[in-house]
Chain A
Amino acid sequence: MTTATASRYTAEYQSIAPALPGQSLTWLQQLRSEALASFSVHGFPSLREEDWRYTNVSAIEKKLFKPVAGLTAGTVDADWLRQHQLEDAWSIVLVDGHFSAALSVLDGLPESVSLMSMAEALSAQSALLERYLGRAVAGEDNSFIAFNTAWFTDGLFVHVPAGQALAKPVQLLHVVTQAETLAATRHVVIIDDMAEAQVIETFVGLGQAYLSAAVTEVFVGPNADLTLYKQQSESDKAYHFGGIYVKQARDARFRHHNFAFGSLLARNDIHADLDHASECELNGLFVGGKRQHIDNHTRINHLEPRGSSREVYKGVLDDRARGVFQGRVIVAQDAQNTDSEMNNRNLLLSDDAEIDTKPQLEIYADDVKCGHGVTVGQLDEKSIFYLQSRCVDEETARNMLTFAFANEMVDKVKIKDLHDRLLEQLLARFPQEGVKKEWL
């Protein structure tokens, strides 16, 4: 069964394939052709699939998004970029799915650390990549992964060797500048034994309709520590599909902070597989207005004993926005003494906003501590009146309360520059007459 839409994309594929990176790598060519075959059969996910029942992706089938012709990147104004580029960080900037050396910042990188574009890594680090690329997504049933594997043009490659703690964060800055563009990017982050790093994925674009399709494969080695941030501030006409697939080794610690503010339609998949005594923390904040649709799909897989996971996702939905939270925690039979908690709290600001939330616990072990909770609510009228009685006008009072609800997630961000930028975005969304940033 070849779907009509898949065939539109696959027909197009032959004309772009020769320009994709890694032509000389047989293992990659094989991965790509298998992925293309799989995608040709399945097409994009349909509402009939349980994992996609709340999110209709048919809009991206109606348009044909294309990788930028000739693989030449659009131009980005450096001043504009500075709004999004962190000051004290190394960065890989991808423009329309291609690495821009001029905009990236790599000075002073320790020699032992590899930080480069995926295209470069495919020649400079091909032996290492052969072992990692595709491994974290093996067994995943999501045709966006196959789509990404076949189509990706570039991406981020980070390798922090054993025992090394990166002094500065690494930012992947993913920029789309042209309408109708498909930016399919593949990212691999490898943190070896006892190493530590902080990585930020930032997705932004100029105000057009485009499609970002990113897959990030993350490997956190034994007793290693990774904090991964995702700041999704795509244009309000954009489609965003981002998947993060994490393999945690024994005692590995992984923290994820997912901020979904932008795009018309966004879907996040975050899957983590935990080993013995791994720790996993998933934090999320999604803020939707107008007709935005933001879907978050998380899966924490406790495979071995003594793992712990903490998950908090908060949603704020206004106007006719729709949010989805599907959180799954799986505790395998061997994963005794697992300690897991999942929470999803949602604030609906209008009668037409909607949240579909589905936390799921699947527990096959018998000695575990697992809990989950969900709340869906509105702003408390008593609180609004209380603030009004303290001189605050009603609109500001509403924004103050909404901001406070959301800011709990921003407050957890440890990188000050990133924290302040997120805070500003939140304040811009929920303005408070007369408020000063330093009071917060």
Chain B
Amino acid sequence: MLSIENLHVNVGDKPILKGINLQVNAGEIHAIMGPNGSGKSTLSHVLSGKSGYTVTEGSITYQNKNLVDMAPEIRAREGVFLAFQYPVEIPGVSNIYLLKAALNAIRKHHGQPEVDAMDFLTLVKDKVRLLEMDERFLYRAVNEGFSGGEKKRNEILQMAILEPKLCILDETDSGLDIDALRIVADGVNSLRSPDRSFVMVTHYQRLLSYIKPDFVHVLAHGQIVKSGGPELALELEEKGYSWVDRMDAGDKATQGAVAGGAA
């Protein structure tokens, strides 16, 4: 599904990611954890194609295609979905308009006809119920005046409708109360399938109690310093990030083993 090899990324002249290796297979959930400034958000931005980042070395391969050279919208049409840490408000563009435009763009990309209006409405209303949202949300401007929790739910709603192959969740649990977190997690869990993968970037372990990852990677100083199973998240919660902060990239044995094992 996704293969990141020796990825180096600069913002301006400043190196942020310094040799990331990550192998995500179909159906897997990977959690990327790390302290502030470790490069977590950079990783999700680079995967989704945000401008301002320069890949100086290494590669990102998605479904045997070079992701780095693809425009953000092509990545999205190919099935890469970024759930934003801070979803953007788009006044004047309704949710339903954006959803339909997005869905039709995907269908066109794959040589399929436009979605039937009735089928579309049925699909959308179905997913709205899944995320316990009010149908009226659909006709409001994208994220405009939404609370933090509503914005995050809206991201998952879009994900549920667009049915991506690779879902990148950037700090999805930040700003969510427990009820909203449960709804979001239920939404994500309902989307788990053998041909869909998730990369969850998170600062907190809390999300991982609701969405159980297959692998946990710890990012520090632009490198993955430790990889393991779900138990690593608990260990991290217990010992704090200062534990990994002291590690350097020398401790690569575990990481190599897990990444290799996953591949």
Contacts and interface: CB of A to CB of B under 8 A. Distances in A.
B105 A383 contact: no
A187 to B, nearest CB: 33
A432 B101 contact: yes
B77 interface: yes
B102 A439 contact: no
Contact of B71 (A390, A394, A401): A394
Contact of A404 (B88, B90, B158): B90
Nearest to B114: A434
A7 to B, nearest CB: 51
B165 to A, nearest CB: 13
Nearest to A406: B92
A407 interface: yes
Given A385-B72, A439-B97, A439-B100, A392 B105 contact: yes
A132 interface: no
Interface string A413-440: 0000000000000000000111110011
B76 interface: yes
B50 interface: yes
Given A382-B88, A385-B51, A408-B92, A393 B97 contact: no
A52 interface: no
Interface-central residue, A388, A391, A396, A436, by most chain B CB under 10 Å:
A391
Given A387-B98, A434-B108, A435-B101, A394 B73 contact: yes
A433 B77 CA distance: 14
B84 interface: yes
B93 interface: yes
Given A391-B105, A392-B102, A394-B71, A386 B49 contact: no
Contacts of A381: 51
B93 A400 contact: yes
Contact of B162 (A391, A396, A405): A391
Contacts of A434: 101, 104-105, 108, 114
A390 B97 contact: no
Contacts of B73: 388-389, 391-394, 397
Contacts of A387: 90, 93, 98
Interface residues of B, number: 36
B99 to A, nearest CB: 8
B32 interface: no
Interface residues of A, number: 30
Contacts of B51: 381, 385
A389 B101 contact: no
A393 B93 contact: no
A401 B101 contact: no
Contact of B76 (A383, A389, A407, A436): A389
Interface string A349-391: 0000000000000000000000000000000111101111111
B87 A386 contact: yes
A440 B105 contact: no
B88 A391 contact: no
B96 interface: yes
Given A385-B72, A390-B158, A405 B92 contact: yes
B102 A404 contact: no
B85 to A, nearest CB: 12
Given A432-B101, A434-B105, A439-B100, A390 B93 contact: no
Contacts of B96: 439
A381 B87 CA distance: 13
A37 B139 CA distance: 59
A401 B76 contact: no
Contacts of B227: none
Interface of B: 48-51, 71-73, 76-77, 81-82, 84, 87-94, 96-98, 100-106, 108-109, 114, 141, 158, 162
Closest 3 CB pairs of A and B: A404-B92, A391-B105, A388-B72
Given A390-B102, A394-B71, 19 more contacts: A380-B88, A385-B88, A389-B48, A389-B49, A389-B72, A390-B158, A391-B73, A391-B76, A391-B101, A391-B103, A391-B106, A391-B162, A393-B73, A397-B73, A400-B93, A401-B90, A404-B90, A404-B141, A439-B94
